[in-house]
Chains A and B, each alone.
Chain A
Amino acid sequence: MEFINQPVPEGEEAPWRLPSTRKAGMICLILTESALFSIFVVAFVFYMGKSLNPPYPSQIMEPPWLASASLIGSSFTIMIAEWFLKRNRTFGFNIWWIITVLMGAYFLGFTAYEWHDLIY
């Protein structure tokens, strides 16, 4: 069976465009991640303020403002870096890219320190 020589309805000559696999894949991945973390968040909210005995979280942990800021901020700096890359401006890309890497490294390091601190 060949599909080439069949009679064709009119108005079917429009170019055939579909969403890019990269975008579709990334959206799916983000959906998956959100589904995963929504359960953790629900568990967290469910147990907020319900510790039975000390030490309570507020006594041994501090809100990691700087680490959170660098984690969330790095999503924006990488976007800026990408913007430079698309315009072939390597210097700007390098700067923002290195900033992103540093912010990520800071976040990872701080998380490691936090866990270490919590356990020992």
Chain B
Amino acid sequence: MAHGPTTASEEYIEVAPSRPGQEKGSFTRIIQELVFTVDHKKLGLMYIGSGLFFFVIAGLMATLIRIQLAIPNNHFLEPDVFNRFFTMHGTAMVFIVGMPIIFGFANYLVPIMIGARDMAYPRMNAFGFWMFFFSGFLLYASYFAGPGLYNAGSAPDVGWFAYSPLTSRAFSRGHSSDYWTLALFSGGIGSIATAINLIVTTVSLRCKGMTLGRMPLFVWTFLVVAFLVIIAMPPLAACQIMLLLDRYLGAAFFDTQNGGSAILWQHFFWIFGHPEVYILILPGFAIMNEIVPVFSRKPIFGYPIMVAANLMIAFISLGVWAHHMFTVGMSSVGNAFFAITTMLVAVPTGIKIFNWLGTMHGGKIRMELPMLFCIMFLFQFLIAGLTGIMLAVAPFDWQLSDSYFVVAHFHYVLIGGLLFTIFAGIYYWYPKAFGRMLDNKLGHLHFWLFTIGFHVTFFPQHISGFLGMPRRYYTYDAGRGWDLWNMISTIGVIFQAAGIFFFVLNLIWSYWKGRKAGDDPWDAWTLEWATTSPPPDYNFEHLPVVHSRRPLWDLKHPDDPDWKYE
């Protein structure tokens, strides 16, 4: 075990003269440490913590949306408030919940997993975090500052993809759209900085023996994610610049009244938007790749194919964006092209699902909480993938585009896929980050309540979508066959909220009262489990040297190391 009870930094703090408010453990001291830190582990936890904070806010908005839709002809919310809620819910969940949480995982784990002491550019790492944090508050500030000098408007109400011409000066008065634009722009700069940092760290800071072929699949997947970020986020930034030029300098990129094209916005947005979906779901795969083998007590099945599948998914994802636009009326060649490329994505994704099943097959499966979430992921992501293929068929999409079927589809991707693996990852790595296990009972309550709530909420939306209910409608008339499904959907939220309550309670309670974890509670194989829990500032006393994909297996079984077989 890595030893050394007092770390270098602790000794330093003891001898440093302490001024009032500077004592170790005092509130001001903790704030100061958080603000000045460039440590990848602290920043990683700050990413996840603030992501969860915004998650709760955006989740409450969704709850209010569901209450509004519970019964027909409801007027629980004002129509304009409703529009702001679904816009802010979507924007927040993608940009200031999903992105920071996945970057948090990457920040915390990638350097440790490759046996490095920190990211390649620690200060740029802090810059990336604070840009994101700022952008989150900028987005919410629109509620107070959106009216601006015009005294019109509030939070953005143009939907998370802000189609033109809704964003033009004529239809979006005040500054609400500007807050949307600038929040995404500044957050995007932070994401790009972090992605560059991740790539450089992975390429240049691997410990001795950590060849590309031995890198944990988690790291591989995040390498691909980071590449997608630096290819897909800049187009979004370019869009935002053009939109601002339109709004304030009289350009007409997206203004159809002056020779612009509203469709061009859709193309540009989805050139970013579709890869963004994969930026969000690939980290889910990354977490699966670590947890499934450890809890099946087998090395991952088909390592090289998993890497290849990642690369294929990333490559194909750059050429499918217009499947979000089948209803704008493209040429039949265009429709066919984007339908086929979209269906192609199913091939590498299917390979992954088979490989996870192959890993579990014949393994000695331990049904611990991380594994429970991962198994639910398999079912839910399969449903999400199948509805995705259905929507890829252009004529089918003409029927169901912008209906609740689409809403159900992407919530199965982002909750059933991403969020479940995020929960799995938190149950798996919390002991590493805080030295204590999350409570098992509270965890099971969270798991069952949330799983039931999730399906009760979102499965009926497939049906209301089939019955023609369009997304984003403020309310609906009784007797169209949507009443029951909407009511069920809203009831599901109660279960989800209860699940989240127990989850947050667990996070807080276990921090003080959880069972002590030790360095390696899961008997795992990647380098983060070789150091103490929580790891010291410098991660490893001696930088590790690896000889196989499972360096800790080699250490624990010197008589039968993996490198004999790889």
Contacts and interface: CB of A to CB of B under 8 A. Distances in A.
A40 to B, nearest CB: 6
Contacts of B433: none
A51 B260 CA distance: 9
Contacts of B238: 36-37, 39-40, 43
A11 B294 CA distance: 29
Given A1-B2, A8-B547, A16-B208, A25 B234 contact: no
B264 interface: yes
Nearest to A8: B547
Interface in A1-48: 1-4, 6-9, 12, 16, 18-21, 24-25, 28-29, 31-33, 35-40, 43, 46-47
Given A36-B235, A36-B238, A25 B259 contact: no
Contacts of A37: 238
A18 B204 CA distance: 5
A25 B382 CA distance: 37
Given A7-B558, A9-B547, A21-B120, A32 B192 contact: yes
Given A7-B561, A19-B203, A43-B264, A35 B547 contact: no
Contacts, number: 102
B234 A28 contact: no
B200 interface: yes
Interface residues of A, number: 33
A12 B205 CA distance: 18
B542 A32 contact: no
Interface stretch (B39-47, B91-99, B304-312, B549-557): B549-557
B271 A18 contact: no
B242 interface: yes
A10 B306 CA distance: 28
Size category, B interface: 35 or more
B196 A9 contact: no
B256 to A, nearest CB: 11
Contacts of B196: 25, 28-29, 32
Interface in A89-119: none
Contact of B200 (A12, A24, A38): A24
Contacts of B253: 43, 47
A21 B261 CA distance: 42
A39 B234 contact: yes
Contacts of B258: 52
Contacts of A86: none
B228 to A, nearest CB: 11
Nearest to B555: A1
16 contacts: A1-B1, A4-B542, A8-B545, A16-B208, A18-B204, A21-B120, A25-B121, A32-B192, A33-B234, A36-B234, A36-B238, A37-B238, A39-B268, A43-B238, A43-B264, A46-B264
What 8 A-B pairs are tightest by C-beta distance, nearest first? A36-B234, A39-B238, A35-B234, A52-B259, A28-B196, A3-B544, A16-B208, A24-B200
Given A1-B552, A28-B230, A35-B235, 17 more contacts: A1-B519, A3-B530, A3-B546, A6-B555, A7-B561, A8-B545, A9-B547, A12-B547, A20-B204, A21-B121, A21-B204, A24-B199, A31-B230, A32-B230, A32-B233, A39-B271, A47-B259
